[in-house]
Each structure stands twice: as structure tokens, then as C-alpha cells.
Amino acid sequence: MLAATVKDGALMVEERPDPEPGSGEVLVRVRGAGINGADILQRAGGYPAPPGSPPDIPGLELAGEVVARGPGAERFQEGDRVMAVVGGGSQAELATVHERTAMPVPEGLDWPQAGGLPEVFTTAHDAIFSQAGLRPGERLLVHGAAGGVGTAAVQLGRAAGADVVATVRNDGLRGDVERLGARAIAPEGFEDEGPFDVVLELVGAPNMPGNLKALATGGRIAVIGVGGGMKAELNLLALMGKRARIHGSTLRARPLEEKAIAARLVEREVLPLFRSGALTVPMAATFPLAEAEQAYKRFTDGGKLGKIVLLP
């Protein structure tokens, strides 16, 4: 098979042996594989794949057709359309997926959208509902809302009946984010727009003092991105006074059991909203696998709304 591979910071498309599905796994012919910030970090040597995932083939999400089943895999049949979050290896023509982490592709969703759905919607749903406990009628602030996770979080918050405010640095994209269900604002001065019950932090350290200032009593800050910086200074007395909570999370390295639980929650609570048309996967661009280098450059150039997806 052909696969995007990383070696010493270089990205190239090369031949690799076809993977074989193990116990409980399915082999998927990949039709769409989203690019995420973790792939950029992995290429730079800062985010190695977890044990059991290909160490040199990036990619955290995929959609495609089941072409073979390993021992004990019974949930899906050959030919079924599936999508999943994986520990790595999705940016290739073939990939293995444990059937417990795989989800059926909703009817009407094309391959690019399906390939850009699993990681961002699972991450956003887990962060704002499973961990931060967002409730209908609460106020949600989403930082960096033009990216994949940001656009997912805005839509999920709106669908849950929350009042959503989103920071978007590129003023040309604010109208697009507002059409997804948020009031889009510039990042500067966001702390004056509070109070917020939940803050989804996708930028990192520079926002943390403002997040705490803008937080409602009993509010929750979910940190899932640190591209803007990793270390922040906080007023712990203010944190105590607001009885607030800050937590961080990653999805990639979780054990199978936890990934399976996250997948089932998305399957039950999120996928029906795609079938009804309430949710969508905004697409910034698609690239063939052979143009992986150009796709990564488009991702890092910024100024995009939604997902960039490779189409093997």
C-alpha cells in the first residue's frame, strides 16, 4: 500500500506492507483521512504514536470500507462504511481499526466529510459534555473556533441548547462560524464577554488568565490545545473564589476501553444529528494522498475554516 510517512521531520509518500487485522480488528480501505494538529507535532518529533500504532505513518482519523475482518471481529461486515479515531496510521491506503472504536458512517455523508469527522467531533463531545458537563441554557466559549475541533464544538453546543460565543482571529471567517451557531468575536477582549459556564481552550496559555476572569461561579475550563503556549500564570485565589475547575485532556493515547466508550457516546448522541442535517463537517480543502506535503502546508498556513482531508 501507499502511505504518508514521517522520517527525521520529512514527510513523503512511500510503499509500506499492507497491515493485517488482529483479534477484534477490521481492515479498512481508507477513503478519507483528516489532518490534525497532532500530525504536525508528530512530524516535528513532538508527539510520537502510542504503542501498537504505526510509528512512522501519521493520521488520527479515517473513514472507509471494511475489506477484511480479524479473528473475533463480528460487528461489521465486509463492504460496510465505517469511520474511527485511531492512534496513528490512517494516512494510508489501508489501516486496521479495532471494531469497538469504529462507528458506522451516517447516510448521506460523503468520504471527505466522514474522514474529517471522528477525531474532532469525538474530542469536542468528550471535552464539553463528558468532562465539562455542559448543560442546556449554559454559556459556552470556544477559542480557536474556525478549526476542526472548534467548528465541531460550536455546532454541538448550539445543538445542546447552549449560548455559544466563539473567538476567531481571522475576521473573514467570523461570518462562517456564526452560521454554525455561535456569536463570533475577535480574541482581544474576550474576557469582557463573560460570564461563561464552560470554556473550551484550543489555543493555550495566553488565554488562561482571561478565561479565569470570564468564568462564571462553578465554571469549567477544558484545555485540549496548547499551540499558542504551554505555561500560564494563574490566580489560584480567584479559582477558589469561583469554585471553578480546570482540566486537560488528550484522546490519542487512551486505552481501548475508554476510546470505545467515547465512540459509543458519539454514535448515540452525535451521529443522529448528522442524519437529521443538524450537524455538518465544514471542509477547507481535500488533497490526494500523493499531495500530503501540500496538504500539511495548507494546514499550517492557517486562515482556514474546518477540515483538511487526504483522499487515498
pTM of the predicted protein model: 0.95
How many separate domains does the chain show? 2
260, with CB counted inside 10 A (0-12, 13-18, 19+), is middle
The reported pLDDT for the residue numbered 68 is 98
Q: What is the pLDDT of residue 227?
A: 85
Backbone phi and psi for residue 31, each to the nearest 5 degrees, phi listed first: -110, -20
**128 plus 244 within the same structural domain:** yes
CATH number for the domain spanning 307: value is: 3.90.180.10
Which pLDDT score, from 0 to 100, does residue 142 have?
A: 98
Residue 227, φ and ψ in degrees, nearest 5: -60, -25
Final residue belonging to a domain, choices 248, 266, 295: 248
Same domain, 48 and 131: no
Q: Which structural domain, as residue segments, surrounds residue 184?
A: 120-248
Do 242 and 265 belong to one domain?
no
Residues 242 and 126 occupy one common structural domain: yes
Does residue 71 sit in the same domain as residue 93? yes
- 73 in the same domain as 18: yes
Q: Are residues 148 and 242 in the same domain?
A: yes
pLDDT one-digit tens code per residue, 90-130: 999 999 999 999 999 999 999 999 999 999 999 999 999 99
d(CA 61, CA 53): 12
- Which of 248, 269, 291 finishes a domain? 248
Q: Same domain, yes or no, for 85 and 183? A: no
pLDDT at residue 46, as a whole number: 87
The ranges of the chain with pLDDT < 70 are none
Same-domain status, 152 and 111: no
Tell me the residue ranges of DSSP E strands in 40-194: 61-69, 81-85, 94-98, 102-104, 139-142, 163-167, 183-185
| Shared-domain flag, residues 108 and 28 | yes
Q: Are 225 and 201 in contact (CB under 8 A)?
A: yes
Residues in the chain, total? 312
pLDDT of amino acid 253? 86
Both 105 and 20 in one domain: the answer is yes
CA dihedral 279, 153, 89, 283 (to 10 degrees): 50
- Write down which residue in 213, 228, 248 finishes a domain: 248
Asked if residue 138 lies in contact with residue 198, where contact means CB atoms within 8 angstroms, the answer is yes
The pLDDT, as a whole number, for residue 73 is 97
